[in-house]
Amino acid sequence: MSDALNIIKLTNEQIAWRAAQDIQEGAYVNLGIGFPEMVARFQPEGREAIFHTENGVLGFGETPPEGEEDWDLINAGKKAITLKPGAAFFNHADSFAMVRGGHLDVAILGAYQVAEDGDLANWSTGKGGIPAVGGAMDLVHGAKRVAVITDHVTKKGEPKLLKRCTMPLTGVGCVTRVYTSLAVVDIEGGHFVLREKLAAISFDDLQAATGAELHIEGDVTDLVVPQL
Amino acid sequence: MSDALNIIKLTNEQIAWRAAQDIQEGAYVNLGIGFPEMVARFQPEGREAIFHTENGVLGFGETPPEGEEDWDLINAGKKAITLKPGAAFFNHADSFAMVRGGHLDVAILGAYQVAEDGDLANWSTGKGGIPAVGGAMDLVHGAKRVAVITDHVTKKGEPKLLKRCTMPLTGVGCVTRVYTSLAVVDIEGGHFVLREKLAAISFDDLQAATGAELHIEGDVTDLVVPQL
Amino acid sequence: MNKTIASLREAVAPIGDGATVMIGGFGGSGAPIELIHALIDAGPKNLTVINNNAGNGRVGLAALIEQGMVEKLICSFPRSADPKVFTDLYLAGKIELEIVPQGTLAERIRAGGAGIPAFYTPTSYGTELADGKPVAEFDGRPYVQERWLKADFALIKAELGDTLGNLTYRMAARNFNPLMAMAAAETVAQVSGIVPPGGIDPEHVITPGIFVNGVVEVPDPKQEEILNREGAVYP
Amino acid sequence: MNKTIASLREAVAPIGDGATVMIGGFGGSGAPIELIHALIDAGPKNLTVINNNAGNGRVGLAALIEQGMVEKLICSFPRSADPKVFTDLYLAGKIELEIVPQGTLAERIRAGGAGIPAFYTPTSYGTELADGKPVAEFDGRPYVQERWLKADFALIKAELGDTLGNLTYRMAARNFNPLMAMAAAETVAQVSGIVPPGGIDPEHVITPGIFVNGVVEVPDPKQEEILNREGAVYP
């Protein structure tokens, strides 16, 4: 099953592309460090979004060419960034006032696990090692819409969409949409509601790769993404 | 008694002068609106103090000449001010962070009543009319040292230094020194401690004009101020 | 993305009866007189207004109050050189008043903008303004619990704005304006000039555009203090 | 009044054993590398350090930790490209760690500077980081109570400073620095240049001098990121 999935699954770029399509004109967006940062690359032409980074920049742009980095101008992942016209700098308290105060339209985060009640686990596997939370716990309770991008299953093929998270929680009841390598799933009323799935996978196979019941309300459309 | 006091009492200018002598080099100072604003005029030569006003200015200077006011540059009493080199503007939350966070060295306020336990009443006579508190309640719990300047008695000759305030409180146990028209009185351990008095008034007469016991600890020196 | 609003009339049009409106300024400095006058022209009723003061003379906030449009005022200091409009209505029992210490008012507004539903402050402890509020002790000292303040709308005055809503202010006219911008569902700023993105140095932005929904240009704004010295009355 | 401190050595001299020290910066941006290295030279022990991270490589905060001077670290994210120094000590049980969500860390520091002993935040509700903390409901939603953070000293990095302690910052190097300046009993800023009063436009001051006790000039400060790429080790 896992091998079969690996053939049809979307790449991370394709998952990021799909998530980017839902970002509205004029939206203020925070992208979690790592994989979610990729979403910015797929912002649709002609739709302007303004990107926020926790460490005090609004309106940043692309990665600078190597050798042209200014290490006072970085994002939350500590990667060098550039500014777009109309950017602003501010301190960390003001930055999280934006987050916690509900001023961001969307936060897109990675996940270890997402539960059908909207709980998210993405900061600690709970297995020892060094705990490190960063801004994730603030983001999940701040943005107007919290979405997750993730492979649908773990590297071992186990479901990441579950009835309940087993790893330490990042936030309770906070996620409303999950973009996976196989599907787009909303969380509504304590349930996973399937919105889009790859044409190449049957509902039953998708359900088998999911740790909680997938509800259907209205149409399920094909999840279609370009080659990237 | 009241008439006799009126002959010897310090003027408001002289009370303000005396209070100004205790402001240390480099002190950050907030002066309450009205009478306390006068203290700034008597800052000793060569001793630099930096004045804070609640509405978001640090480092302001004298009143501008009439006709040269800029009404975007005012103090908490809504009077026009000027800037000294090294001034800064900030918003109201940052301004009261300075106040509440204990960053001011001294706040000098007016008073209706001061009690021997350090309670202050200076915002409402409690007799109806329009209540208006402004920043007084913040200042009394913020500055490292809260001093009061006041006539020693009311216009009717009644004591303003009392065992307990009878008017609505501004703050509890907050005042540590009172500069009056007759004396300088510290508040320590729930008592008024007399530090300085006019030579022209006897201890007994001063006590009679005071609504709570005046303690003596160590020397009582003459309260000497220049003609102003 | 362009947050420019073409007219003052359009800027205040969404404000309906019963709305809670934060109005920037400390006395006349930073008071968005032109937006307030446009609001008077629009005429919504039963407003709750949050401002540090209660107006002065017969323009701006005082005029808004005089028109009977304000049901409740939340402020720290409803006295001024000429507070007659407010005073008369208040003494006649025709306007509700909530007095908040100035620093607590500022912090409650910031808390509203920052997603902090409640906080503790030493301010007002032991006074009648703390009546009915929870008290707690931290490190042996008593503190009063205060709640956030939010609003449906904020009308503020800034100096420069860009089309993305980034703002600067002019001297002490900054005061409550940046805080109110954060705490309202919809914030409109009147600015002396609108510049394109990049027209304000990112280091000098005081209110980042994320807090601002619209900017309307008022190239030569009136100062309440000067209007009152001229004896102006609005409308 | 002149807050200039002549040398880095003098700037850190008051920091004794057991002190709580806030150190500005987010990763390498805004990290006061030269002040940290001066602190290493001074050598106080059993420090509690508050920073967003846990250092990177073998310079700056990582070097301070490597010298065994840090007993406890309060931070949000002790991972980095090369967190080996911290990781080894932590796994050996030789350094205490308090993990605080980043926004809560920033707000706790601001609260310390603003005289707010406690506040409520939605952040961490229902997670293990809220264990043992009071929870309260406001408007039907649960929040966690968090306490202020203060320090004996703050070591921060700014761009320009005047002799009264007014500061500006450079781009995203601002981050925690202005907050820490507020929350420490004694704040020292290393600045790229010291100017006389009036050398910074009052509109552009980010940290007003009231929050700053001393400024020390480091004309060409090192960047942690660049030092690490060069494989630098301190001392």
Q: Return the HEC string of B104-133.
A: CCEEEECCCEEECCCCEECCCCCCCCCCCC
Give the DSSP letter of residue B171. Answer: B
Enumerate chain A positions whose Cβ falls within 8 A of a Cβ in D.
53-57, 70-74, 78, 89-93, 95-96, 99-100, 119, 130-138, 141-142, 168-172
Q: How many domains does chain B have?
A: 1
Q: In this structure, is residue B69 part of a structural domain?
A: yes
CA distance B194 to B47: 26
pLDDT confidence band for B127 (50 / 70 / 90): confident
Terminal CA-CA length for chain C: 34
Interchain touch A–B (≥3 Cβ pairs closer than 8 Å): no
State residue B12 phi and psi, 5-degree precision: -60, -40
d(CA B139, CA A5) in angstroms, rounded, equals 66
Q: What integer is the mean pLDDT of B156-180?
A: 97
Does some domain include residue B228? no
pLDDT tens for C140-194 read: 999 999 999 999 999 999 999 999 999 999 999 999 999 999 999 999 999 999 9
- Domain enclosing residue B189, as ranges: 2-222
Q: Which of B53, B91, B112, B127 to mutate to test the interface with C (most CBs of C within 10 A)?
A: B91
| Residues of chain A contacting C1 with CB distance shorter than 8 Å | 25-26, 48, 50
Predicted TM-score (pTM) of the model is: 0.98
Task: Give the pLDDT mean for A72-86.
Answer: 97
Q: Is residue B227 part of a domain?
A: no
Q: Which CATH number fits domain D8-116+150-229: 3.40.50.2300, 3.20.140.10, 3.40.50.300, 3.40.1080.10?
A: 3.40.1080.10
Q: What is the dihedral of CA C16, C18, C19, C20, to 10 degrees?
A: 160
Domain boundaries, chain D: 8-116+150-229
Confidence of residue A168 (pLDDT cuts 50, 70, 90): very high
- Kindly provide the ipTM of the predicted complex, given to two decimals: 0.97
In whole angstroms, what is the distance from residue B179 CA to residue D220 CA?
Answer: 50
Domain of residue A46, CATH code: 3.40.1080.10
Query: How far does A129 lie from chain C, in Å, by closest CA?
Result: 32
Residues in chain B: 228
- Give the pLDDT of chain D (235 residues) as one tens digit per residue: 999 999 999 999 999 999 999 999 999 999 999 999 999 999 999 999 999 999 999 999 999 999 999 999 999 999 888 888 999 999 999 999 999 999 999 999 999 999 999 999 999 999 999 999 999 999 999 999 999 999 999 999 999 999 999 999 999 999 999 999 999 999 999 999 999 999 999 999 999 999 999 999 999 999 999 999 999 999 9
State chain A's mean pLDDT as an integer.
95
- All residues at 6 or more sequence positions from D106 whose CB lies less than 8 Å from its CB, including other chains: A91, A92, A93, A95, A96, D176, D179
Q: For residues A101-118, give the mean pLDDT.
A: 98
Chains in contact with chain B (at least 3 beta-carbon pairs closer than 8 A): C, D
Mean pLDDT rounded to a whole number for chain B: 95
| CA-to-CA dists, residue B177 to B133, B194, C89, C196, angstroms | 21, 10, 40, 54
**Amino acid letter, A182:** L
**How does strand B145-150 pair with strand B83-89?**
unpaired
Residues 154-173 (C) with a CB less than 8 A from some CB of D = 168-169, 171
Q: Which amino acid is at A72?
A: D
Residue B196 lies in a domain: yes
B182 touches B206 (CB < 8 A): yes
Give domain status of residue B70, yes or no: yes
CB C177 within 8 A of CB C25: yes
- Dist. CA D38–CA D177, nearest whole Å: 18
- Parallel, antiparallel, or unpaired: how do β-strands B161-162 and B113-115 relate? parallel
Q: Which helix (H) or strand (E) holds B52?
A: strand B50-53
How many CB atoms sit inside 10 A of residue D225's CB? 22
Q: Are residues C202 and A59, on separate chains, in Cβ contact within 8 Å?
A: yes
Tell me whether strands D151-162 and D20-23 are parallel, antiparallel or unpaired.
Answer: parallel
The whole-angstrom separation of Cα B34 and Cα B14 is 15
Q: How far is C91 from chain B (nearest CA, A)?
A: 8
**Whether residue A6 has pLDDT greater than 90:** no
Cross-chain Cβ contact D104/A95 below 8 Å: no
Please report where in the chains the tokens 């820490």 appear, as a residue: D180
- Which residues of A are part of the catalytic machinery? 54
CB B1 within 8 A of CB B157: yes
* Token pair in block for residue C68: 């009977």
Minimal C-alpha gap between A79 and chain D (Å): 10
**D and A interact (at least 3 Cβ pairs within 8 A):** yes
pLDDT band at B111 (very low <50, low <70, confident <90, very high): very high
Separation of alpha carbons D31 and D46, rounded Å: 21
The pLDDT score that the predictor gives to residue B142 is 87
Q: Which residues pair with A187 in a beta bridge?
A: A192
Q: Does the pLDDT value for residue B5 go beyond 90?
A: no
Inter-chain Cβ pairs, chain A and chain D, closer than 8 A: 144
CA A39 to each of CA A36, C164, C201: distance values in angstroms, whole numbers, following the listed order: 6, 22, 27
- The closest of D98, D28, D99, D21 to D59, measured between CA atoms, is D28
Amino acid at D180: M
The SS3 call for residue C193 is strand
pLDDT at residue A1, rounded to an integer:
54
Tell me which of B37, B45, B48, B54 is the catalytic residue.
Answer: B54
